[in-house]
């Protein structure tokens, strides 16, 4: 009963999405000729690369699939059964359905039929086709169906395979031509050529077996082999052939849904910055079987320049409506020329990308005049300047964030009393007029940070991504957390403190400038991880981004300097600030939890580079779950104890504790594999998971060799998942 139900669903096409969801993977063209009351039909069916179309007879009674059917318009003509080339045969050995075979076609085929026109009727000019296509590569199956009208008599080349079983061939037409059917044989001649391809392209899925059923079960419900077009990308081809001027034009209009983009620059296969290799460029290939038109290069519209983040300084993309243009020159009689195009692209949103897709596009008519003008970006355009300003703003905001976080690190604390002491003396000596000195103090801090950025940016990326660097930073963060917990006592080296003391005794502008430089040096053990991250983002473009480095480090320095400038301006009011007490100790311990969590990120980078396989996604999230729940409970318990001892209620502290617990639970939600935020959490998490279940499906991984991975997948009839990732 299960087998009968599956067969019924497959035959009805229920196991695969409708053709309109992703577009037909076969396209037919009808030509008709008539002589007296006889009417002749030649149907050319072009099947997309790596796809196949079921034959009119599946062959084996046990075969699963929808056979091809053809129905000519009902106008009184009596039509013979169509004659097709001999189909190919695929053998299936399925553990559940047993052994069977099915008949199919791929590439380009031509089939023929003959009809009689009844008295008072006219020749047929419409044909309805219905069937099913499947992919050799991904196993995806789609319903195929279309109704077409005759394109006239067509060239003689389309009729050269006329089968003798249908009687004499139709009369010749003026188009002429000498092209044979694919392979150089007629339908009659090819009847003896039966191609057996046991197991060819049959995907194997765990527990699913192989063959057509496996293709429908796993391809029809979102297989990885092809990006869903649907509402994301809709592409149409329009063509114009002008024999008077001997010119031909094609325009491909691509409408991209809001929130999505495709890749390419102003020329073919141009992704933008050389470092950006994570996307697949948009390509267009014009196919013209007639050979009567010489086609030129594809002309692309103006792209958008986008900040590439950690992948590259920038890259090109297209959004909204995109128009591609191809111009051609007529070199022979273009009658019957039916050029079509193969469009390749990859559609992405801001978080993920669909697998690369390929579509065959056939002309929808002459189209609008504007589509054949010089191509420009026609919808949703954002200028390069707008993109640059937006990306720069985000970069500077990240610099401010790093600066604020660094101010909470323990290495900055020793400079607080030194700053207060120095400017208290200066205020007494200058009757409180210390504003110029305070500004010079802040300027010294900013200039030293900028100097560090300019000098070290060229080497910061290989340094920051090395596993030794990540190990050292991870240990430093772990040490900082222990210091904040009170287990160890950290102080800057005596030499640096002596330098700070000497700088504080030097008066005037030179003294305050030295004070600023000393603050940078003494706090650099804490600021180095953040400065390295900041410079890594700024310096990815090399020397051309010098101004970006200056702005980023300057912003970071201003953020670091502002509190100390404030302290230098009002040293006498520092006594009015809340005294260090239990609240300061509570903050320090909570920051200890935060730094403990941060150290895990650097240790996971080391684990990934060295291939230990210890800190996978689940381990990382489980550790953060424990750390942030413990941090939240600590805040809540401390607040309740303080209140019980007669102190304030600590409602704000309890609120932060609850937020910490909620974040920990959020991390726990991701442990089983649930998707977390793609903007913040995804870059932090290790890109692999540890499978604790020994019976779980394992995947063979091929690193940095796409061709080898593809060859292995074809050999084992499996799918390929391409993962673009770095290590640190």
3-class DSSP state of 650: coil
pLDDT band at 529 (very low <50, low <70, confident <90, very high): low
The number of residues making up the chain comes to 728
Sheet of strand 357-361, all strands in order from the earlier edge strand to the far edge? 283-287, 340-345, 357-361
CA 20 to each of CA 25, 58, 105, 555: distance values in angstroms, whole numbers, following the listed order? 11, 24, 21, 52
The predicted model gives 116-135 an average pLDDT of 77
Average pLDDT, the chain: 74
Taking phi over 0 as left and psi of -120 to 50 as alpha, with beta for the rest, 279 belongs to: beta
3-class DSSP state of 688: coil
Output DSSP code: residue 253: E
pLDDT of residue 534: 62
Q: Is the entire prediction scored with pTM above 0.75?
A: no
d(CA 614, CA 689): 10
Residue with the larger pLDDT of the pair 474 and 109: 109
Residue 677 confidence (pLDDT) above 70:
no
Q: What is the pLDDT of residues 382-432, one digit of tens each?
A: 444 444 555 567 678 877 877 887 776 656 666 666 676 667 666 667 666
Q: Where do runs of H (alpha helix) occur along 466-507? A: 467-485, 494-505
d(CA 430, CA 442): 19
Residue 700 confidence (pLDDT) above 60:
yes
Q: What is the pLDDT of residues 221-234, one digit of tens each?
A: 223 333 333 468 89
Beta strands, E only, 157-298: 233-242, 247-256, 261-263, 283-287, 293-295
Token pair belonging to 691: 């499978």
Compute how many other C-beta atoms are within 10 angstroms of the C-beta atom of residue 16.
Answer: 26
219 in Cβ contact with 112 (< 8 Å): no
Q: What is the H or E stretch that residue 385 is in?
A: helix 384-407
Look at domain 1-224 and name its CATH class: mainly beta
Going from N- to C-terminal start, the domains of the chain cover 1-224, 227-382, 425-577, 581-690
d(CA 576, CA 274): 56
Domain covering 227-382, topology? Immunoglobulin-like (2.60.40)
Q: What is the pLDDT of residues 82-113, one digit of tens each?
A: 999 999 999 888 776 678 899 999 988 999 99
CA atoms within 13 A on the CB side of 314: 19
The predicted model gives 336-363 an average pLDDT of 83
Output DSSP code: residue 313: S
Q: Where do runs of H (alpha helix) occur along 570-689? A: 582-610, 617-644, 651-669, 681-684
Residue 54 confidence (pLDDT) above 70:
yes
Token pair belonging to 116: 């009689």
Beta strands, E only, 76-203: 77-79, 88-94, 98-105, 108-117, 126-135, 141-149
Q: Does the fold of domain 227-382 match that of domain 1-224?
A: yes
Bridge partners, residue 47, by sequence: 26
151 in Cβ contact with 170 (< 8 Å): no
């Amino acid at each position: 009963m299960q087998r009968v139900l599956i067969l019924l669903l497959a035959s009805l096409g229920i196991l695969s999405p409708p053709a309109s969801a992703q577009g037909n993977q076969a396209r037919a063209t009808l030509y008709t000729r008539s002589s007296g009351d006889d009417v002749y039909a030649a149907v050319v069916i072009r099947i997309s690369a790596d796809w196949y179309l079921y034959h009119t007879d599946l062959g084996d009674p046990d075969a699963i699939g929808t056979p091809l059917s053809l129905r000519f318009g009902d106008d009184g003509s009596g039509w013979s059964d169509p004659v097709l080339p001999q189909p190919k045969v695929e053998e299936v050995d399925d553990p559940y359905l047993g052994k069977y075979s099915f008949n199919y076609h791929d590439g380009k085929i031509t089939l023929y039929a003959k009809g009689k026109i009844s008295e008072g009727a006219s020749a047929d000019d419409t044909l309805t086709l219905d069937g099913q296509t499947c992919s050799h590569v991904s196993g995806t199956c789609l319903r195929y169906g279309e109704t077409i009208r005759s394109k006239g008599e067509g060239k003689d080349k389309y009729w050269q395979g006329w089968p003798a079983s249908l009687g004499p061939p139709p009369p010749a037409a003026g188009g002429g031509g000498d092209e044979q059917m694919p392979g150089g044989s007629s339908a009659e001649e090819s009847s003896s050529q039966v191609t057996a391809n046991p197991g060819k392209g049959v995907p194997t899925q765990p527990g699913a077996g192989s063959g057509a059923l496996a293709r429908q079960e796993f391809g029809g419900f979102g297989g990885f082999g092809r990006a869903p077009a649907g509402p994301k990308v809709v592409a149409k081809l329009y063509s114009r052939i002008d024999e008077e001027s001997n010119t031909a034009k094609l325009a491909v209009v691509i409408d991209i849904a809001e929130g999505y983009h495709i890749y390419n620059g102003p020329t073919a296969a141009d992704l933008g910055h050389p470092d950006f290799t994570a996307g697949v460029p948009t390509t267009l290939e014009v196919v013209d079987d007639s050979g009567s038109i010489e086609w030129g290069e594809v002309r692309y519209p103006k792209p958008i320049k986008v900040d590439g983040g950690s992948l590259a300084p920038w890259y090109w993309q297209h959004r909204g409506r995109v128009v591609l243009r191809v111009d051609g020159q007529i070199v022979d009689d273009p009658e019957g020329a039916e050029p079509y195009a193969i469009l390749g692209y990859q559609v992405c949103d801001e978080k993920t990308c669909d697998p690369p897709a390929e579509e065959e596009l056939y002309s929808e008519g002459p189209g609008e005049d504007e589509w054949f003008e010089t191509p420009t970006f026609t919808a949703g355009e954002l200028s390069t300047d707008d993109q640059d300003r937006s990306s720069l703003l985000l970069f500077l905001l990240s610099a401010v964030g790093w600066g604020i976080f660094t101010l909470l690190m323990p290495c900055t604390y020793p400079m607080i009393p030194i700053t207060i002491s120095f400017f208290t003396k200066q205020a007494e000596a200058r009757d409180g007029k210390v504003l110029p000195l305070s500004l010079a103090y802040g300027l010294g801090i900013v200039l030293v940070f900028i100097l560090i950025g300019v000098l070290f940016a060229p080497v910061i990326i290989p340094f920051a991504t090395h596993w030794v660097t990540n190990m050292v930073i991870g240990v430093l963060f772990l040490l900082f957390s222990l210091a904040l917990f009170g287990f160890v006592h950290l102080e800057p080296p005596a030499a640096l403190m002596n330098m700070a003391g000497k700088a504080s005794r030097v008066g005037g502008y030179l003294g305050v400038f030295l004070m600023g430089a000393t603050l940078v040096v003494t706090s650099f053990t804490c600021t180095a991880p953040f400065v390295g991250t900041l410079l890594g983002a700024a310096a990815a473009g090399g020397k051309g981004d010098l101004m970006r480095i200056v702005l980023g480090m300057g912003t970071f320095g201003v953020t670091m300097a502002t509190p100390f400038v404030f302290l230098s301006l009002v040293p006498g009011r520092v006594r009015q600030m809340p005294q260090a007490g239990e609240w300061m100790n509570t903050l320090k311990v909570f920051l200890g939890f935060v730094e403990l969590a941060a150290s895990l990120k650097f240790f996971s980078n080391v684990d990934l580079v060295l291939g230990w396989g210890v800190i996978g996604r689940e381990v990382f999230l489980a550790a953060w779950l424990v750390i942030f729940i413990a941090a939240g409970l600590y805040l809540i318990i401390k607040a309740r104890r303080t209140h019980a001892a007669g102190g304030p209620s600590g409602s704000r502290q309890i609120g932060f504790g609850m937020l910490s617990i909620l974040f920990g639970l959020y991390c726990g939600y991701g442990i089983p594999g649930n998707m977390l935020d793609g903007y913040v959490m995804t870059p932090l998490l290790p890109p692999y998971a540890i499978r604790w279940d020994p019976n779980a499906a394992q995947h063979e991984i091929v690193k940095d060799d796409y061709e080898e991975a593809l060859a292995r997948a074809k050999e084992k009839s499996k799918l390929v998942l391409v993962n673009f990732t770095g290590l640190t």
